[in-house]
Amino acid sequence: MKIKSVSAKSILDSRGEKTILVTIKTNVGEFSASSPSGKSTGKFEAKPYKKNIEGDIEKIEQLSDYFSDEIEEFDDLRKVDDIVDKHLGANTIFAMESAILKALAEEDGKEIWELIDSKIANAGGRFPRLVGNCVGGGKHSILERKPDFQEFELIPDGKTVGECAKINNKAKKETKEMLGKVDKKFSGKKNDEDAWAVSLNEKEVLEVLKKTKIPLGVDIAASGFYKRWHYYYENPKLKRSKAEQLDYISNLIRNFDLYYVEDPFEEDDFENFAELHARFPDILIVGDDLTTTNPERLKKAIKMKSINAIIVKPNQIGSLMKVKEVCELAKKNNIKIVFSHRSGETEESILADLAFGFQADFLKCGITGSEREVKINRLIEIEKEIK
């Protein structure tokens, strides 16, 4: 497959903020892909744009003539990385490489996931389990009073992706009714990720969600309320030391039988991640801000036994070859893989193909909202095609 030209423009994400759409013209047609954008970002993430989105749009068109090598397989994305390295930001690189995969799949008469591993279907490939954000807080909430934790997840264990999606949709509707009874300020509003926006604290939310009888998870996003060696809670106002945070999270795990705990400590605290993992080896201790889809951060987490699951957000690192490296490293070390959306999403569905192609254990992409549902529906479509 030959790239003839590359162009880009800004579009609006689900938050109404600018993100990038990249279009490539090839010998098999024209293909476009967009990148999501994060609001709660780790300080170790790659920059979304070299300087700004306008600069990347201008730069990618300047580089257009340099993409002269043939692209024949997934690993040929190395050629693209060599050209764009240090010139473009992670959002732009991810969008461009996604468009290239679409073109390559068209030329080869394959699905995008088959470009990653064509043997999956015949080998009885596993489908990722859905992680659905049902109630939101933290930086994703618009309310003045809100949970300090960023996300409260429902993680059903159904027989199919379609069944899990139905379970989550039903539970989310039922949760709305329950929230209305315990939260006097609840008005049915939703946050950035189409999750219910409430004024409850984390314990009150978990009390409601445990009634669904679905395995529960939390994305604490602890870096968002950490400063000067302490965690500053607002609902209610509390200051917890690192040791107190460890004990508090441990108690929540025990009291609410949590299955999944993401970013329980600030983004450089490998030690307390490791201590929590040692206390609860059978639940998922998940790194996101800690690891930022970065092979070197993951290597450190593995060495220190900090996690047993990792969030993979392709636009945190940009290069899909780096995403492949992270996934291979995780599998080699028995680290569960959680492909994840961002809070500012688009109608792009390629995340589902990547999650299945890399044989992720989980796909975290919300429950409702068109930008979330397009990814779930694509995964259901793949499942139907194979089965």
Cβ-based burial of 355 (10 A; exposed 0-12, middle 13-18, buried ≥19): buried
Instruction: Give the three-state DSSP class for 117.
Output: coil
Selected catalytic residue, list 45, 114, 193, 371: 193
**Cα 363 from chain centroid (whole Å):** 8
Nearest Cα residue to 361 out of 218, 272, 260, 278: 260
**Phi, psi for residue 178 in degrees, rounded to 5:** -65, -40
Name which of 14, 13, 32, 11 is nearest 22 in CA terms.
Answer: 32
Strand partners, 339: 312, 363
Distance CA 375, CA 352 (A): 5
Q: How far is CA 302 from its chain centroid?
A: 20
Q: At a CB cut-off of 8 Å and minimum separation 6, what does 187 contact?
A: none
Closest CA to 336 of 254, 262, 236: 262
CA angle 6, 349, 190 (to 5 degrees): 120
Instruction: Kindly state the tokens that stand for 353.
Output: 């193909």
Active site residue 18: no
Q: What CA–CA distance (Å, rounded) separates 225 from 139?
A: 10
Q: Which one from 59, 102, 172, 313 is the annotated catalytic residue?
A: 313
Give just the sign of the alpha carbon dihedral 82, 88, 91, 95: negative
If one counts every other C-beta atom within 10 angstroms of the C-beta of residue 238, the result is 14
Residue 373's alpha-carbon distances to 32, 132, 171, 291, in angstroms, are 20, 11, 16, 26
- The pair of structure tokens assigned to 37 is 């954008």
Is 193 catalytic? The answer is yes
**What is the rounded distance in angstroms from the CA atom of residue 68 to the CA atom of residue 64?**
9
| Helical packing angle, 202-209 and 161-182, nearest 10° | 120
Instruction: From 83, 48, 49, select the one nearest 63 (Cα to Cα).
Output: 83
Catalytic residue numbers read 193, 313
